[in-house]
Amino acid sequence: MADDLAVELEGITKRFPGVVANSDIHLAVRTGEVHAVCGENGAGKSTLMKILYGMLHPDEGTIKVNGEPVRFRNPSDAIKVGVGMVHQHFMLADNLSVLENIVLGAEGLHGIGAKARKRVAELAKRTGLTADLDIALEYLGVADRQRVEIVKVLYRGARIVILDEPTAVLVPQEVDDLFDTVRQMRGDGFTFIFISHKLDEVRTIADSITVIRRGTTVGTADPKTTSSRQLAEMMVGSELPSPETRESTVTDKAVLTVSGLRLEEAGSARAVLDDIGLVVHSGEVLGIAGVEGNGQTELVETIMGMRRGSAGTVTLDGKDITKLGTLARREAGIGYVAEDRTRHGLLLTQPLWANRVLGYQTRKPVSRGQWLDIAGARQDTQRIVDAYDVRTPGIDVAAAALSGGNQQKLVVGRELSGDPKLLIASHPTRGVDVGAQALIWEHIRRARADGLAVLLISADLDELIGLSDRIVVMLRGRLVSEEDPATVTAEDLGSAMTGSAAREAS
Amino acid sequence: MKTTLRGKLLPPALAILFSVLLCTIALLISGDNPLDAFGAMLGQLFRGTTAIDTLNSGAVYYLAGLAVAIGFQMNLFNIGVEGQYRFAAVIAAIVGGGTVLPPVLHTLLIIIVAVLAGALYALVPALLKVYRGVSEVISTIMLNAIAIGLIAYLVSTDAFGVQIGNNIATKPIPESGWMPGIPFGEGGTLFGFVFVAALVGIGYWVLLNRTRFGFELRASGESPTAATAGGVDARKMILTAMLLSGGVAGLTALPELLGRDHEYLQTSPAGYGFAGIAVALLGRNHPGGIALGAVLWAFLDKSAVSLDNVGVPQEITTIMQGAIVLSVVIAYEIVRRMELAAEQRRVGRQLGRDTSDVAAGGSV
């Protein structure tokens, strides 16, 4: 019975107000397998999964679940036939208990009493969720929260589980645990559809792979016989630029010097940053590794002058900038690629050329004193659009109309203009497709070769290792160790990040 | 984002249509003939001084609307335009009535005093917001109430007021401080300040679209987080925006003060500041839109009298004003979403054409 198809999508087409629609997609998932769906960001994976989960309706094409044609009006219809989805961004209530989170909205199944508890406990055991069912969700770590989401889906009777980028929030060890659970459940007859663009992971866990490019399926691959590189080329549709390491361009000229930096949480004496000291040299990329929430965001924002440290100094190119505001720091030569481009990097409803002005409103070529130079801003925006291959019909469209990758190319182009001395790049390629990623890396490398100092924060360990000249690990607001990217592995970094190498009592 | 002409004109047109419908229903329920009522409203424009009066009080609403719109640009809700303009009017009237200067200079002095007084009254909520985090909505509303008491005191005979007949008012401004208007004989006199208001409108547009300050103001309004990351000092922006808003609010009463009343009476009209909020909403913070909104508002105001003359309850104009504001807000939002989606589709189509055949498959 291994060849029974759990899910079969045929000729799915979705016309959609966005850059990529789905066009004639074919997907066949066998019962009891882990089927990966790969593709660049913006290739249409999310759209496809939303269609399969009943959140969107296809304009053309048929969906069959367990051989039966179905038509979903909403996610409840999908759940009725056993299709469930674990979203990338968890949809959980912090102040409710684990049990309540799972039962919420499905009270009709087993009530809210002992019967429900028994069923949840059973599923928790199966998925490796060890947390107490009665503690509030806010005390759970990311990996446990994800398990709660999975139990939630199973509790509603799903046999086919869609996992949308499940590993994006996990450290390597947690990823392994998750994969163990998935394998075990596959043995119990569950079917998984695994959305990811992390090719190594896909090859580890998947039984078969479908690749999507520009909204349509380009083919299926066998993970045992296909290399990551071949997969990536299927996704991009061309030969990849080689990510080989290049010779060092590090000089001994210190550009950014941070010493004794301390930041306290508003309203308490708890240190978010504790005695941070680091130096970034001209021509050097310093990578900061760490599980999110260990102070990286705060460190960047303190260096940018968006937060005020309570102690310590920040020096740029020999000049003390500790007391300066954000604008003065930018004028002194800091470029800043913020971790969340839609919140910190762009004015979404404004045209691209107005976004070029943001952060540069006092400098040529986009302004003259108190007056904006609109012609200059437009010209320079056009330059960025050309040089960074920003795919847009023009510079008058709103930033919101571009896909994430193109938005990010615009941001990187802007922050590298005006000859910065230091670039702070927070997750510069997060949520960006492989093509844009290669281009952004290339531009950062080129600027580095010209003597730019780069402070790189990333959750993508391959990116950190591939791009950095040195890596420091951040844990609970401190810099705990330094690693050499030439020798360190992702697993080593993962241990250092979680503090498992020298675990403290906490 | 560039809004198309259709996107600009459709919402207000829909809103006016909707409110006419609503008023028709209200009139039918109250047993009046809607055609008579609307006929009287339109007919008034060709009789007496209504047309000129509409423009004159349109200028007042325009200035109030601009003052509110400056705050709206960065999501500051300056509800205090009411208190600011009345406070400024009293101070300007007192200073104007108490000084002797040659013409033009005298008028200029009054204008400058009004701007400064308006800004000063807005400084209080601005400082409270910047240094203590007090919501400007709360503080300006309370300051409106304080302004009433303050004005009553300033205009009383204990302070600067003088008894003229049955009324108590500030000392009249001598003729050197007036601003001459353009007489239309039977049709009334157009205030000279109407042109000043137009100039302020142009200045507002230039400030917003051509200067660094305007850019930072709009950036702060659209995304405070992105503005901060872009080096915009939020505190400075709040302070400057509030002061500017208060300064323009200070001008609100001047068309009438310099062109007609020449003194501030205890019974001088109030409520322009609140009307300014509605006008700014109607005009979508755009100087041209605010101008249209202000004139429309003034026209509806004037209609109250004409409706009374044909025996229709004048409250119908209030219903109409309310209905227009509510429906215009909704209509703009709907059209804005439609346009954003249309733009995304357009971008998608144009890109699809040069890069792949997806769009061809997707847009059949």
**Distances, alpha carbon A77 to alpha carbons A73, A152, A182, B102, B229, in Å:** 6, 16, 24, 82, 44
Per-residue pLDDT of A115-131, as tens digits, reads 888 888 888 888 888 88
CB contact under 8 A, A358 and B226: yes
B305: closest CA among B295, B316, B296?
B316
For chain A, the domain total comes to 2
The pLDDT of residue B358 is 35
- Give A391 to chain B, closest Cα distance, Å: 7
**Residue in B with minimal Cα distance to A337:** B229
Chain A hits for B347, Cβ within 8 Å: 19, 392-393, 397, 401-402
Find the CATH number of the domain harbouring A134: 3.40.50.300
Chain A hits for B75, Cβ within 8 Å: none
Per-residue pLDDT of B131-158, as tens digits, reads 988 999 999 999 999 999 999 899 887 8
The answer on pLDDT for A315 being more than 70 is yes
The pLDDT of residue A17 is 47
The pLDDT of residue B338 is 81
The pLDDT of residue B3 is 57
Band of residue A269 on the pLDDT scale cut at 50, 70, 90: low
CB contact under 8 A, B1 and A393: no
Are residues A268 and A174 part of one domain? no
Is residue A364 classed as helix, strand or coil in its secondary structure? coil
The pLDDT of residue B361 is 32
Q: Cα angle vertex B319, ends B314, B324, to 5°?
A: 130
**For residue B300, what is the enclosing H or E element?**
helix B287-309
Mean pLDDT within B225-233: 91
CB contact under 8 A, A361 and B340: no
Q: Which tokens in the block code for residue A391? A: 């795919």
A85: closest CA among A40, A146, A30?
A146
Domain annotation covers residue A136: yes
Higher model confidence: residue A291 or residue B212? B212
- Give B338 to chain A, closest Cα distance, Å: 10
Q: Cα angle vertex A273, ends A267, A279, to 5°?
A: 150
Are residues A302 and A194 part of one domain? no
Per-residue pLDDT of A354-395, as tens digits, reads 999 999 998 888 888 889 999 999 999 999 999 988 888 788
CB contact under 8 A, B358 and A20: yes
Are residues A132 and A10 part of one domain? yes
CB contact under 8 A, B228 and A326: yes
**What phi-psi label fits residue A452: left (phi over 0), alpha (psi between -120 and 50 degrees) or beta?**
beta
Band of residue B362 on the pLDDT scale cut at 50, 70, 90: very low
Q: Compute how many other C-beta atoms are within 10 angstroms of the C-beta atom of residue B298.
A: 23
- Give B362 to chain A, closest Cα distance, Å: 5
ipTM of the complex: 0.79
Q: Which of A9-13, B324-328, B359-363 has the lowest mean pLDDT?
A: B359-363
CB contact under 8 A, A358 and B230: yes
Range of the domain at A132: 5-236
Domain annotation covers residue A491: yes
As to burial, measured by CB atoms within 10 angstroms (0-12 exposed, 13-18 middle, 19+ buried), residue A437 is buried
Quick one: what percent of chain A has pLDDT higher than 70?
92
What backbone phi and psi angles, to 5 degrees, belong to A60? Answer: -140, 165
**Distances, alpha carbon A84 to alpha carbons A52, A79, A137, A153, A154, in Å:** 9, 6, 21, 5, 8
Selecting from B226, B346, B359 the residue whose C-beta is nearest the C-beta of A347 gives B226
Higher model confidence: residue A111 or residue B225? B225
Are residues A176 and A258 part of one domain? no
Is residue A181 classed as helix, strand or coil in its secondary structure? helix
The answer on pLDDT for A20 being more than 70 is no
Domain annotation covers residue A245: no
The pLDDT of residue B351 is 62
The pLDDT of residue B212 is 92
Band of residue B4 on the pLDDT scale cut at 50, 70, 90: low
Domain annotation covers residue A244: no
CB contact under 8 A, B344 and A19: yes
The pLDDT of residue A403 is 77
* C-alpha to C-alpha distance for B249 and B66, rounded to whole angstroms: 8
Domain annotation covers residue A290: yes
- Give B359 to chain A, closest Cα distance, Å: 7
CB contact under 8 A, A357 and B359: no
The pLDDT of residue A242 is 46
Selecting from A24, A346, A372 the residue whose C-beta is nearest the C-beta of B226 gives A346
* Max mean pLDDT range (A235-244, A486-495, B152-161, B235-244): B235-244
Q: Cα angle vertex A374, ends A372, A378, to 5°?
A: 140
Which domains can be identified in chain B, with CATH numbers?
A: 1-27+312-323+334-348 (no CATH), 57-309 (1.10.3470.10)
- Give A352 to chain B, closest Cα distance, Å: 9
The last residue of one of the domains, among A191, A209, A236, is: A236
CB contact under 8 A, B231 and A330: yes
- Give A216 to chain B, closest Cα distance, Å: 7
The last residue of one of the domains, among A236, A262, A287, is: A236
* C-alpha to C-alpha distance for A361 and B237, rounded to whole angstroms: 14
Q: Which of B205, B218, B344, B357 is best to mutate for the A interface (most A CBs within 10 A)?
A: B344
The answer on pLDDT for B101 being more than 80 is yes
The answer on pLDDT for A46 being more than 50 is yes
The answer on pLDDT for B33 being more than 70 is yes
Are residues A82 and A163 part of one domain? yes
Selecting from A17, A20, A349 the residue whose C-beta is nearest the C-beta of B341 gives A17
**What phi-psi label fits residue B271: left (phi over 0), alpha (psi between -120 and 50 degrees) or beta?**
left
Q: What's the distance, Cα to Cα, between the start and end of chain A in Å?
A: 50
Q: Which of A217, A298, A350, A426 is best to mutate for the B interface (most B CBs within 10 A)?
A: A350
Domain annotation covers residue A506: no
Are residues A337 and A479 part of one domain? yes
The last residue of one of the domains, among A236, A263, A279, is: A236
Selecting from B211, B223, B341 the residue whose C-beta is nearest the C-beta of A347 gives B223
Selecting from A18, A370, A374 the residue whose C-beta is nearest the C-beta of B348 gives A18
Chain B hits for A393, Cβ within 8 Å: 346-347, 350-351
Are residues A423 and A376 part of one domain? yes
The answer on pLDDT for B1 being more than 50 is no
* C-alpha to C-alpha distance for A31 and B136, rounded to whole angstroms: 60
CB contact under 8 A, B345 and A216: no
The answer on pLDDT for A422 being more than 60 is yes
Are residues A218 and A331 part of one domain? no
Q: Which of A239-253, A482-496, B47-61, B284-298 has the lowest mean pLDDT?
A: A239-253
Which residues does residue B230 pair with via DSSP β-bridges, in sequence order?
A: none
**Residue in B with minimal Cα distance to A342:** B226
CB contact under 8 A, B340 and A401: yes
Q: Which residues contact A385 (CB under 8 A, 6 or more apart)?
A: A352, A392, A395, A410, A413
Read off the amino acid at residue B254: L
Selecting from B225, B343, B361 the residue whose C-beta is nearest the C-beta of A13 gives B361
* Max mean pLDDT range (A61-65, A222-226, A463-467): A61-65
Alpha helix ranges (H) inside A332-394 = 352-357, 374-387
- Give B271 to chain A, closest Cα distance, Å: 34
- Give B242 to chain A, closest Cα distance, Å: 19
CB contact under 8 A, A347 and B219: yes
The answer on pLDDT for B31 being more than 90 is no
Per-residue pLDDT of B155-209, as tens digits, reads 887 878 788 777 888 888 888 888 888 888 888 888 989 999 999 999 999 999 9
- Give B175 to chain A, closest Cα distance, Å: 39
Mean pLDDT within A291-300: 84
CB contact under 8 A, B358 and A392: no
Are residues A222 and A290 part of one domain? no
Band of residue A266 on the pLDDT scale cut at 50, 70, 90: low
Domain annotation covers residue A246: no
**Residue in B with minimal Cα distance to A15:** B362
Are residues A371 and A452 part of one domain? yes
Are residues A166 and A34 part of one domain? yes
Domain annotation covers residue A504: no
User: Which residues of chain B are at the A interface, by a Cβ-Cβ cutoff of 8 Å?
Assistant: 1-2, 210-216, 218-219, 222-223, 225-233, 340-348, 350-352, 355-359, 361-363
- Give A379 to chain B, closest Cα distance, Å: 16
Higher model confidence: residue A354 or residue A485? A354
Chain B hits for A39, Cβ within 8 Å: none
CB contact under 8 A, B229 and A372: no
Q: Which of A129-133, A284-288, B90-94 has the lowest mean pLDDT?
A: A129-133
The answer to whether A62 and A11 are in contact (CB under 8 A) is: yes
Are residues A398 and A454 part of one domain? yes
Spatial strand order in the sheet of A319-320? A271-281, A254-264, A311-316, A319-320
Average pLDDT, chain B: 86
The pLDDT of residue A3 is 59
CB contact under 8 A, B229 and A15: no
The pLDDT of residue A21 is 63
Average pLDDT, chain A: 84
Mean pLDDT within A27-45: 82
Three-state secondary structure of B226-265: HHHHCCCCHHHHHHHHHHHHHHHHHHCCHHHHHHHHCCCE
The pLDDT of residue B103 is 87
Quick one: what percent of chain B has pLDDT higher than 70?
93
What backbone phi and psi angles, to 5 degrees, belong to B157? Answer: -70, -15
Chain A hits for B218, Cβ within 8 Å: 347, 350
The pLDDT of residue B26 is 86
* C-alpha to C-alpha distance for A12 and A20, rounded to whole angstroms: 13
Q: Which of A212, A348, A361, A395 is best to mutate for the B interface (most B CBs within 10 A)?
A: A361
Selecting from B2, B212, B352 the residue whose C-beta is nearest the C-beta of A362 gives B212
- Give B132 to chain A, closest Cα distance, Å: 15
